[in-house]
Amino acid sequence: MRTDTGHVFKLEDYRPSDYLIPRTSLDFRLSPEATRVTAVLTVERRQGVAASTPLVLDGDGLKLLGVAIDGQVLPEADYQATPDQLIIPTPPAARRFELRLETEIAPSSNEALMGLYRSNNVYCTQCEAEGFRRITYFLDRPDVLSVYTVRIEAPHAEAPLLLSNGNPVESGALADGRHYAVWHDPYPKPSYLFALVAGALGKVAGSFTTLSGRKVELGIYVEPGKERLAGYAMDALKRSMKWDEEAFGREYDLDVFNIVAVSDFNMGAMENKGLNIFNDKYVLADEETATDADFANIEAIIAHEYFHNWTGNRITCRDWFQLCLKEGLTVYRDHEFSADQRSRAVKRIAEVRTLRAHQFPEDQGPLAHPVRPRRYREINNFYTATVYEKGSEVVRMIRTILGAETFRAGMDLYFERHDGEAATIEDFLKVFEDVSGRDLGQFALWYHQAGTPNLTVSSSYNAAAKAFTLEIEQSVPPTPSESRKRLMHIPLAFGLVGAGGKPVAWAAVDGATVEDGIIHVRKRRHTVRFSGVSERPSVSLNRDFSAPITLSVQQKADDQFFLASHDSDPFSRWQAFNTLLTDALIAAFRQLLGGKESAFDAKLAELAGSIARDETLEPAYRALALSLPGEADIARDIGQGIDPDAIFVAREALARTIAMANREIFSALYASLADNGPFTPDSASAGRRALRNILLDYLSLLPEGAALAARHFNAATNMTDRAAALTVLAHRHAGSAQAEEALSAFEMRYRGDALVLDKWFQIQAGVPGPLTVENVRALMQHPAFSIANPNRVRSLIGTFFSANQTGFHLSDGQGYRFFAETVLEVEKRNPQVAARLATALRSWRSLEPVRQNKARQALLQIANADNLSADLRDIVERTLV
C-alpha cells in the first residue's frame, strides 16, 4: 500500500518521457504465491535526449530477480532497485537496446485488486491507472505506447483458459501438466490497457460480421454454470458493434473480442484492448436475478467499454490530466447508444438526474475540480462524475453548438488525424474548429474551469409593442483554488410556448446570437429582445438540458404548471413539474424548522394525477415524473443548514398528500398495469413495470398499504417487481410482520447468489431512521458479506453512507463514528474502495452545526490515522480544507 502523498502532479509540468518502449514481450509463469514475470522491453531513447540520461522505470511493491541488457546480465552495481523504482544510471550508448527484467509477484496476496491478482481461483489484472507497475518495472504512463506479445504458462488443471490482449497466436501442452498460450496485439497501446485472465471459466460464444465483411469471434467468459446469464450481455455487445459502425463509422479491428466477468473488481468494467474485464454484476442477468435497471446498466456498460476501442484505445490520452478525453467522450457515446436503443426522452432525464445527484455536489464542495484537472496527488481519485458525466455533457454541447452534421465531420477528422496517438483536449477541440471554422476558445473553459454556472433569468412582455424580453445574467461560484471565474459560452436552448402548448413565433431578435433554438450566452449580461411576438409566452429554458447549469428563473408558478402540462420539449416538461415539487418540498422543510406543519398546494397533487393517467406520455416517462426529488437532491437545493430528518418528514408528507388525493386514479392504473405475460427486458415493458412500481410506492402510504406491497411481493414473477415490493415493505413498513417475512423469504430464496443478496443488503442499508446503523453493523457479520469484496462493501456500507440520509446523518454522530472506523477497516485491504466510501462526507459543511461538527470529527479521526494510504489521505485532506 502506497502511503507517499507529498508529490503533486501538475499539468503544466508535463513533458514527454526520455525513453520509449515500442515493443514489449511478457512471459508469465503463473503461481498463486510466486508468479514469475519475464519482461523483454525494446527501449528506445528519444531523438535529442543525451545518451547519458538515466532510464527510470516505475514499480510498486515489486521483487526484482534479475536485469539484463542486450543479453548481458547487469551487475547489481550497475542499477538501483527498490520495490517502487528501477534506475539504470548509464544505459547503453546505442539509441535502441533490449532490457530484460525478471520479477516475482504474489497474486493471491493482492487484496488491493490492482495489478495481477487471484480471486476465486481466477487470475485477473486491473492496470488502470497505475497497476501495471505492480507487475513489472515499466514506463507506466499513458503516452508510452507499445506493441505487446504475451506468453502465459500455468497448470492446465488450475487454469485451462489463458487469455490476453489481441489475437491468439499459438498454444500447446508442456511437461508436468502445464500448458501455454501466446497472444499478440498489433496495435500500440499504453500499459494501463494490458490484461491477462487465467482460470477455469465457462464460455458463451458468438460472432459478428463487420461492415467490411470480416468475421469477429466473440466470447463472454463467466463462472461455470452461469453461462445462461450472459445472453443479454452478448446481445448488447452485438448491438453496440453494429451501432458504432452506423453512428460513428467505427469498425472493430481484431479477430477476437473477449469479455470476462469476475466477482472481485474495483470498478464497473475495464476496456483492455480485445479483452474487456467486467464486474460480473454488469454481465450476468435474467428476470429472476436482475432488475430492469440491471439490464439497462449491462447494455450501457457493455457498450461503453466496447466504444473505448476507438475512444480510449486506438486514440488514448497523453497523460492522466486528459482522462476526460476518453471517459467523457465515451460516456457521451454510450448515452447516445442507449437513447437510440430505448426512449431518448426518458434516457435524457435519467442522465440529468444522475449528473445532479453526483456531479453537482462535486462542483459545489471541497472536491470540485475541472473536467480536465490541473493537478492531482492520486489519480485514482479523479475517476469522478465530473470527468465522466460532466465530460459527456461538454461533448454534447459541442454537438449542440455545431449541429449533428458538423459534429460528425469533426469526429471523423479526430479518428483520422489521431489514430494511434496519445491525444489532448486541445487536439480534440482543434478538429471541431477546423471543420466548422469556429473559435472554441471561450467554450474550452468548460474543460478548464470548475464549478456549475448559474443563469439568472427574468422576462417581461410588452403587449402594445408585441415585444418579449429576456434578461440573462451568468455567474460561476468560486471553487477550491479558483475564486475568480471567467465567463463561459453557454448554449441555452429555449422555446416560447403559447396557448395550448403551441410555439410562439417572433419576427426578429437582438441582444445575443440566437440560432436554431439556441441563445449563445457569452457575456455576463444579455438583454435578449424578441419583436413581433403576438402573445405573452411562457418561456421554456435549457431545453433537453442543453448545458449543465443551474437556473434561477423569475417565473410565476402558473407558468410552471402550464409548462408541466404543455411544454413540447419532454425534458423541460419534466423539469417544470420537478421544479414545482422541489419548491414545495423546500417550503415544507422551512415550515417544519419554524415549528409549523407542512402544507401543499392541491394543484400539485392534481397535476400528479393528470400526469399519471396521461396516455400520450410513455409509462417510463410518467414513472420518472412521479418520482419525487430525492432527499439529497432537496438538500443540495436548500444549500446550508441541512437537517436530514426535516427533509425526510417533508418528503413523506408530500408523497402522502399526492397518494391520498389520487387514490382512485393510482389504484385503477396500478391494477391495469399488471403484466401476466412472459418477461421481456425491452424498454416499453420496463416502463410499464416502473410506472406500476412507483404507484405501489404511493399506495403503500395509504391504509392497507403494507398488505398491498406484500401481495405484490408474493405475486412477483421477476426481480424488478420483487425488489420494488421488498423496498417498499422494508422502507415504508420497517419492523412490520410483512416486511420481516419478505426479507426472510428473499434471503432464503437467493442465499446462494451473491449478486442478488447485494440487493438484499442494499435495501436494508437504505431503511430510514436511527436503527439502521446497528442493523448494518449486524449485517457485516452475515455469512454472505465480505469486507474484501468491493460489491459487498458498496451494496451494504456504500449504500448506507451515500443513500441513507436519515440513517447515516444521525444527530448523535453514531453514523459518522461508524463511517470512520469502517473506512479505516476497508482501507487495510483496498485503499481505492475506502477512498470512494470517504466521499460520502464531501458535503459535510452544508449540514446544520451539530451534525457538521460531528462529521468533521469523523474526518479528522481518519486523517490522523497512522500509515494512511495515498488514496484515502488525498480525499480526506481535500474534504477537510
Burial 42-81 (b: 16+ CB within 10 A, else e): bbbbeeeeeeeeebbbbbbbbebeebebeeeebeeeebeb
| Angstrom distance (rounded) from CA 452 to CA 465 | 36
| 3 state DSSP class of 777 | helix
| Angstrom distance (rounded) from CA 547 to CA 396 | 8
Contact 473, 521 (CB under 8 A): no
User: Which residue, 371, 309, 296, is CA-closest to 337?
Assistant: 296
Active site residue 433: no
Residues, the chain: 881
Q: Is the dihedral of CA 251, 257, 260, 261 positive or negative?
A: positive
DSSP state letters, 536-589: PPEEEESGGG-SS-EEEE---HHHHHHHHHH-SSHHHHHHHHHHHHHHHHHHHH
Name the amino acid, one letter, at 123: Y
Question: Partners of 470 in the beta sheet?
Answer: 459, 528
Non-local CB neighbours of 136 within 8 Å, separated by 6+ positions: 26, 37, 39, 59, 62, 101, 103
Looking only at the bridges linking them, the beta strands covering 375-376 and 316-317 are unpaired
C-alpha cell at 254: 481484431
DSSP state letters, 39-68: EEEEEEEPTT--TTPPEEEE-SS-EEEEEE
CA quadruple 321, 326, 329, 335: dihedral, nearest 10:
-120
DSSP state letters, 795-826: IIIIHHHHH-HHHHS-TTSHHHHHHHHHHHHH
| Angstrom distance (rounded) from CA 678 to CA 701 | 30
Non-local CB neighbours of 102 within 8 Å, separated by 6+ positions: 36, 37, 38, 39, 64, 65, 66, 67
Residue that is written with C-alpha cell 435578449 in the block: 528
For every residue of 605-641, which 3-state class applies, written as one string? HHHHHHHHCCCCCCHHHHHHHHCCCCHHHHHHHHCCC
Question: Partners of 562 in the beta sheet?
Answer: none
Name the amino acid, one letter, at 95: R
Active-site residue among 305, 351, 389, 482? 305
C-alpha cell at 190: 499504453
Determine if residue 764 is left, alpha or beta; phi over 0 gives left, psi from -120 to 50 gives alpha, anything else beta.
Answer: alpha
| Angstrom distance (rounded) from CA 369 to CA 876 | 15
Q: How many CA atoms lie within 13 A of 209 on its CB side?
A: 2
The strand ranges marked E within 272-431 are 275-279, 316-317, 375-376, 422-423
Contact 153, 180 (CB under 8 A): yes
Which own/partner contact pairs does 423-427 have at CB distance under 8 Å and 24+ positions apart? 423/315, 423/316, 423/317, 423/318, 423/322, 423/325, 424/317, 424/318, 424/322, 424/325, 425/322, 425/324, 425/325, 425/372
Catalytic residues: 305
